[in-house]
Structure 1
Amino acid sequence: MKHILITGAASGIGAASARLFHARGWRVGLLGRDAESLAALAGQLHGAWQRALDVTDEQAVAQALQGFCGEAGALHVLFNCAGLLRFGYFEAISTQEHAQILQVNVLGLLQVTHAAFPYLKAAQGQVINMGSASGLYGTPHMVSYSASKFAVRGFTEALELEWRRHGIRVGDLMPPFVATPMVDSQRFTPPTLRRLGVALRAEDIARAAWRQVHAPRVHRVIHWLFTLMYWAGQLSPPQANRMLMAWLSRE
């Protein structure tokens, strides 16, 4: 049996991924901040392991990795799915909330990955990071989130090269907007979202994670529209990409 540990598993993409991997015969470990939702999901998935925690709590993260891997005996995939998002004008969002987004999306991901290293090395496992289309273009009205996903992209690229010597694969998923409770609960709608729309569901990203496990890429770009934007961004001058983003985010 293969084992996957998923952060941010209480809802959205994390929960959808847990259901998919469990349905396909994997043992799933669930980490998340919402203890009630996490317990409810674990009750639906026979044999699932779960623990409520904040990924920015380094000691709690280390204990959780030890608990899951000690019981499971191996860690084949770590899916860093925990994340925070807030739409709005930069100056209208408190510095405390900006900091929390960066702490969860970057520091939390880093701490979980660091704690998972010995278990991933033993199994020659794989890390999947939850990236975003906003990690390719700086996206207005989601400034700190976009900054965090730029960091995730750089982290993924660097660690993928560094951990090759251990036989550990590292990659990220890069979707545009996804219909999740986190997106649906926002009080502000960015112009970029209005123009691009929300064409993906959490289940689409879960299936992309499944494909990533079996055919790893450094960056797995999701949805045909963003695939076109991604490759256009690789081939066109930076100024052209900036003009495109300026048009998409125009109010």
Structure 2
Amino acid sequence: MPTILITGAASGIGAASARLFHAQGWTVGLLDMNEAALHDLAQALGGAWQRTLDVTDAVAVQAAIAAFAEANNGQLRLLFNCAGILRFGHFETISLEEHARIIAINVQGVLNCSYAAFPYLRKTPGAQILNMGSASGLYGVPHMASYSASKFAVRGLTEALELEWRSYGIRVADLMPPFVGTPMVASQTFTPPILKRLGVNLKAEHIARAAFDQAQRAGVHRPISAMFKAMYWSAQLSTPGLNRLVMRWLSRD
């Protein structure tokens, strides 16, 4: 039975992915800081393996991933780095501590988990890391500056490790959706102009399905939604100046 370990599993995309992979017969491991929600989800999934975890704590990450792998014959088929936080707002109105926390969870958390998972992925045929990227990793998005920067980092790490680890048979990819209707987005008190224009047209279940599909195939970046797929591929052919003009127009007040 294939195994998947999901960070940020207690709600949103992580929880939707856990339910889908479990329904498809995978052995699911759940990691999240929200102990109560994590416990409830694990019980709903028939007592799935769980551990409360802060992904910025490298020592705790090492221990948690080792424990899950050891409970599954030392193997790990898929690590889904889904944990992340978001804050909309003007850059200067968000505290420096909060900017740093966004980078710590969204970037250092991915580094910690990927590093700790490597020995077990290496032992597992068809192993893969799937990172939670974003459409904001394509071009810097106003009012999402540190979040956008974090997703650029995830994109770069994904591309580098996809080349570096292919010699071990480990695939590395990311998902790149635009805005998704999750509690994280719903809890924001500021609405960026770009969100008003593009809207929220995806649910967590759509991203879970993309994650499951990506687990079965090769590829590096997986843009999600027809609109963003068109934007993504046109951006590959456009000049940086044109991409900047498009973002400036979408983000105008």
| Aligned: 1:128 with 2:133 | no
Q: Distance between the aligned counterparts of 1:77 and 1:17, measured in 2?
A: 12
Q: Distance between the aligned counterparts of 2:233 and 2:211, measured in 1?
A: 21
1:146 maps to a residue whose letter is S
2:160 maps to a residue whose letter is A
Counterpart secondary structure, 1:91: helix
**More off after superposition, 43-52 vs 181-190:** 43-52
Q: How does 1:98-117 map to 2 (within 5 A)?
A: 98-117=99-118
Q: CA deviation at 1:102?
A: 0.1
User: Corresponding residue for 1:173?
Assistant: 175
1:184 maps to a residue whose letter is A
Q: CA deviation at 1:72?
A: 1.6
- Asked if 2 retains the 8 angstrom alpha-carbon contact of 1:89 and 1:141, the reply is yes
Q: Distance between the aligned counterparts of 2:246 and 2:27, measured in 1?
A: 43
1:10 maps to a residue whose letter is A
CA deviations over 1:45-80 (Å, ceiling 9, x no partner): 014100001000011101101111111222100000
- Asked if 2 retains the 8 angstrom alpha-carbon contact of 1:131 and 1:174, the reply is yes
Q: How does 1:227-246 map to 2 (within 5 A)?
A: 227-246=229-248
- Asked if 2 retains the 8 angstrom alpha-carbon contact of 1:27 and 1:47, the reply is no
2:199 maps to a residue whose letter is G
1:88 maps to a residue whose letter is G
Q: CA deviation at 1:215?
A: 1.4
Counterpart secondary structure, 1:214: coil
User: Corresponding residue for 2:250?
Assistant: 248
- Asked if 2 retains the 8 angstrom alpha-carbon contact of 1:106 and 1:148, the reply is yes
CA deviations over 1:209-230 (Å, ceiling 9, x no partner): 0110011210001000001100
Runs of 4+ in 1 over 3 A off after TM superposition: none
User: Corresponding residue for 2:96?
Assistant: 95
CA deviations over 1:22-46 (Å, ceiling 9, x no partner): 0010010000010000000000001
| Aligned: 1:215 with 2:236 | no
Unaligned stretches of 5+ in structure 2?
none
1:128 maps to a residue whose letter is L
CA deviations over 1:187-217 (Å, ceiling 9, x no partner): 0000000000000000000000011001121
Q: Distance between the aligned counterparts of 2:47 and 2:66, measured in 1?
A: 17
User: Corresponding residue for 1:19?
Assistant: 19
Counterpart secondary structure, 2:243: helix
2:122 maps to a residue whose letter is K
Q: Distance between the aligned counterparts of 1:141 and 1:135, measured in 2?
A: 14
Q: TM-score, normalised by structure 1?
A: 0.99
| Aligned: 1:190 with 2:192 | yes
RMSD: 0.6
Q: CA deviation at 1:145?
A: 0.1
1:64 maps to a residue whose letter is A
Q: TM-score, normalised by structure 2?
A: 0.98
Q: Distance between the aligned counterparts of 2:71 and 2:238, measured in 1?
A: 49
Counterpart secondary structure, 1:19: helix
1:22 maps to a residue whose letter is H
Counterpart secondary structure, 2:215: helix
Q: Which of residues 190, 203, 206 in structure 2 aligns to 1:204?
A: 206
2:183 maps to a residue whose letter is P
CA deviations over 1:143-198 (Å, ceiling 9, x no partner): 00000000000000000000001000000000000000000000000000000000
Number of equivalenced pairs: 251
Q: How does 1:45-56 map to 2 (within 5 A)?
A: 45-56=45-56
